[in-house]
Structure 1
């Protein structure tokens, strides 16, 4: 999830664990704990594109990290914060570290919660930024902060924030199940034979959902809004995996394909080769749109394979918001 959401969650967890003793300092250290796992983004800047992707939401998003570094940070905090014991500060940091990846596991990218095991949990029931999850949570947290340490009202507001946010997360799982059934039914009615289907919410909402559908030679992408009145349409994107040629045996390319979980297409443009990660969809919900949110250029430099992520710009983001607003209202 985005940084603000993780800060809010971490602060609320800090209050729940140690607010009675430490007050707003519990929220502060909880917020810090909720931020630290995402420092792997900055660590990744010292590596190549593929390695950075492998590092992201790996070690720092694991139970192992939460246990070991929870104690380390708890001990460090206890050296100058004397209102709670080392064990209590360690407990706060542990839960701050752990709830971060648990929340991230509900997104499309997922987390390696059980690192070093090569298992990435990705439930795909919420987008990385969802105002309906974050804003009510933030309001209750601010209300809790305004109350004196240890009071019943402070505890009540903080608990309400945790309950409302968790309830919303549970609702998104139910919504995912409903939309999955809608896509399955549409594929059946249209006589489309497929191998696998994956559904996820579109950016910033849980009203409009998308589906990636794998067929023999192509992937289909379709959208469903709860305000739709017409049948779901699916748009075809050829796999074109053969275009990789000799690259298909390249170690770096194989690692990138592993990251995509096999959900990728290959395209050519201006004599350049691109691998498009389908898991995160397109930069628009318009029919037959061709630009993917995550695309990687594959090339050679001094006989060495080089992979670079294709940058995105603000204009694309603005257009996506406009397209989303139109499509959410129904087809």
Structure 2
């Protein structure tokens, strides 16, 4: 999730756990710090744009490593504020803050390697967009109420209510995603399309309109399919659009290390194409929409794929028109 959301979540969790045992401002501040720490891995440059992507949310988001970090951070806080009697409580608070960061990240589609060093599997539920005001606002309101209220007043209850509401929203997102997936699979079956890997993820800033991507299991099938489904559509049929996925290129270059690396990280939701200057381009189909995607990587010429560091080419849609289109689709299926 975005940095503001992680700061709000970290502060809310720390305030809820510490309660009246220490200053609300102190617990909120350290919650914000601990809630930000895992994302400092973005400062590491691996010398290759594709590696920077697949190695983000890795060791710094590991539940195991963060568990080891929690008592060290708690010891630092207790030493700085002379609260050694509260060590166990600070340990619990900061451990929960550190762990809720990657667990929330895993609710997005990006891919979070929660179980390092035991496996590099990138977990991604994909039921919430990376920025979602409906999740973040209850947390912000609760934390602000706790900070501005008098110590030990109703602000702590507001903070807890914010946590409950935001968590309930995550539950709703999973239910909405399951509904859309069911609708999409029924539509594919009704249209006689073979069983396919399905990606269901919300369009930006909400959980009512969803983008569905179907990738065939057959490597020779030249197309992936894309559709947009709203939970408000009712019985409206799903309108699938077929797009080229570079199947022949995948057969030829699928075993090249950068191609295999991104294909594994994205669970196979990739396409390949050749650029105007003869380079092989791989695209992560999970983030964006056809033909505009956040993560495109040029991998070098076809005869030497991976011989040079991958370079990222983003094709982000213009935000204003994209939001207006989203609003129109929500209002009128």
TM-score, normalising length: structure 2: 0.89
- Once the two structures are overlaid, the 10-residue window that deviates more, 158-167 or 58-67, is 58-67
Where structure 2 has 5 or more consecutive residues not aligned to the other structure, the ranges are: none
Of 240, 245, 248 in structure 2, the residue corresponding to residue 239 of structure 1 is 245
Which residue of structure 2 aligns with residue 127 of structure 1? 129
Query: Are residues 47 and 17 of structure 1, via their aligned partners in 2, closer, same or farther at CA, if it must alter by over 3 Å?
Result: farther
Which residue of structure 2 aligns with residue 267 of structure 1? 273
1:102 equivalent to 2:112? Answer no
Which residue of structure 1 aligns with residue 226 of structure 2? 221
- Once the two structures are overlaid, the 10-residue window that deviates more, 224-233 or 294-303, is 294-303
Where structure 1 has 5 or more consecutive residues not aligned to the other structure, the ranges are: 283-288
Residue pair 1:106, 1:126 contacting (<8 A) in 2 also: yes
Q: What is the CA-CA distance between 1:86 and the residue it aligns to?
A: 3.1
Residue pair 1:110, 1:120 contacting (<8 A) in 2 also: yes
Trace 1:93-172 onto structure 2 (pairs within 5 A): 93-116=94-117, 117-151=119-153, 153-172=154-173
- 3-state secondary structure, aligned to 1:148: coil
Which residue of structure 2 aligns with residue 285 of structure 1? none
- Once the two structures are overlaid, the 10-residue window that deviates more, 227-236 or 54-63, is 227-236
Query: Are residues 91 and 231 of structure 1, via their aligned partners in 2, closer, same or farther at CA, if it must alter by over 3 Å?
Result: same
Residue pair 1:66, 1:93 contacting (<8 A) in 2 also: no
Query: Are residues 119 and 171 of structure 1, via their aligned partners in 2, closer, same or farther at CA, if it must alter by over 3 Å?
Result: same
CA distances 1:255-304 after superposition (whole Å, capped 9, x unpaired): 2222222111112231332111112231xxxxxx4222321112159982
Residue pair 2:35, 2:101 contacting (<8 A) in 1 also: yes
Which residue of structure 2 aligns with residue 9 of structure 1? 9
Residue pair 2:256, 2:306 contacting (<8 A) in 1 also: no
1:277 equivalent to 2:308? Answer no
Trace 1:168-247 onto structure 2 (pairs within 5 A): 168-215=169-216, 216=218, 217=221, 218-228=223-233, 230-243=236-249, 247=253
Residue pair 1:21, 1:149 contacting (<8 A) in 2 also: no
Q: What is the CA-CA distance between 1:166 and the residue it aligns to?
A: 0.7
Trace 1:14-93 onto structure 2 (pairs within 5 A): 14-22=14-22, 23-43=24-44, 45-84=45-84, 85-93=86-94
CA distances 1:188-238 after superposition (whole Å, capped 9, x unpaired): 222222322221111111110111112231211111123436421111122
- Once the two structures are overlaid, the 10-residue window that deviates more, 80-89 or 215-224, is 80-89
| Distance in 2 between residues matched to 1:19 and 1:56, nearest whole Å | 33
Indicate the RMSD between aligned Cα atoms, in angstroms: 2.2
| Distance in 2 between residues matched to 1:164 and 1:302, nearest whole Å | 48
TM-score, normalising length: structure 1: 0.90
Q: What is the CA-CA distance between 1:247 and the residue it aligns to?
A: 4.1
Query: Are residues 303 and 89 of structure 1, via their aligned partners in 2, closer, same or farther at CA, if it must alter by over 3 Å?
Result: closer
Residue pair 2:280, 2:305 contacting (<8 A) in 1 also: no
Q: What is the CA-CA distance between 1:89 and the residue it aligns to?
A: 2.5
| Distance in 1 between residues matched to 2:194 and 2:256, nearest whole Å | 32
Query: Are residues 46 and 294 of structure 1, via their aligned partners in 2, closer, same or farther at CA, if it must alter by over 3 Å?
Result: closer
Q: What is the CA-CA distance between 1:31 and the residue it aligns to?
A: 0.9
| Distance in 2 between residues matched to 1:25 and 1:168, nearest whole Å | 28
Q: What is the CA-CA distance between 1:162 and the residue it aligns to?
A: 0.8
- 3-state secondary structure, aligned to 1:159: helix
Q: What is the CA-CA distance between 1:312 and the residue it aligns to?
A: 4.3
Which residue of structure 2 aligns with residue 306 of structure 1? 309
Number of equivalenced pairs: 322
Q: What is the CA-CA distance between 1:70 and the residue it aligns to?
A: 0.9
Residue pair 1:196, 1:214 contacting (<8 A) in 2 also: yes
Residue pair 1:209, 1:223 contacting (<8 A) in 2 also: yes
| Distance in 2 between residues matched to 1:172 and 1:11, nearest whole Å | 23
